[in-house]
């Protein structure tokens, strides 16, 4: 290749890189934990859950404690964070001040409740929420833009 070909190739690479960067979906994420209690009332008498054998989970029908682990990702619109990590995390943690008593709610229900609060403050953004019980089992829910 000659010098002109090199310049053309460099320009094409630059344009491609620029297009990729413009089309990138940028998200930030934060994590936090909150101790709480809940129950799964159906576990007490649903035959699929109260099986009476090694798969029996009827104990979930009573109030029990977990450390709920949250991971929340939210879309940002440029690469210099239009939402600051620490501020976002502190705001989320503030939503859960005091004891977390979610009664009968599953991790998925908790994620839906949290998304409603996030979308009211930060509308028209993609949001991903992971909530687990004790960092072991949980949900991942993706919410698309309004």
Phi first, then psi, for residue 51 (nearest 5°) are -85, -15
Q: What pLDDT digit, counting tens, does each position of 82-135 carry?
A: 999 999 999 999 998 876 778 889 999 999 999 999 999 999 999 999 999 999
Tell whether pTM > 0.75. Answer: yes
Q: What pLDDT digit, counting tens, does each position of 4-49 carry?
A: 676 666 666 666 656 666 678 899 999 999 999 999 999 999 999 9
Identify the H or E element spanning 131: strand 127-133
Identify the H or E element spanning 109: helix 107-121
* Domains of the chain in sequence order: 25-143 (3.30.479.10)
The span from the CA of 13 to the CA of 49, in Å, is 57
Q: What pLDDT digit, counting tens, does each position of 56-78 carry?
A: 999 999 999 999 999 999 999 98
119 touches 129 (CB < 8 A): no
The pLDDT of residue 70 is 97
């Amino acid at each position: 290749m000659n010098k002109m070909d090199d310049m053309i190739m460099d320009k094409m690479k630059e344009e491609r890189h620029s297009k990729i960067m413009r089309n990138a979906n940028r998200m930030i994420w934060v994590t936090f934990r909150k101790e709480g209690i809940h129950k799964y009332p159906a576990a007490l008498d649903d035959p699929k859950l109260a099986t009476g054998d090694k798969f029996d989970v009827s104990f979930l029908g009573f109030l029990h404690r977990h450390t709920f682990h949250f991971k929340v990702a939210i879309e940002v619109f440029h690469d210099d964070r239009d939402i600051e990590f620490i501020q976002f995390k502190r705001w989320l943690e503030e939503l859960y001040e005091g004891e977390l008593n979610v009664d009968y709610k599953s991790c998925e229900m908790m994620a839906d409740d949290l998304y409603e609060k996030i979308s009211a403050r930060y509308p028209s953004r993609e949001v991903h929420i992971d909530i687990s019980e004790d960092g072991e089992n949980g949900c991942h829910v993706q919410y698309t833009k309004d």
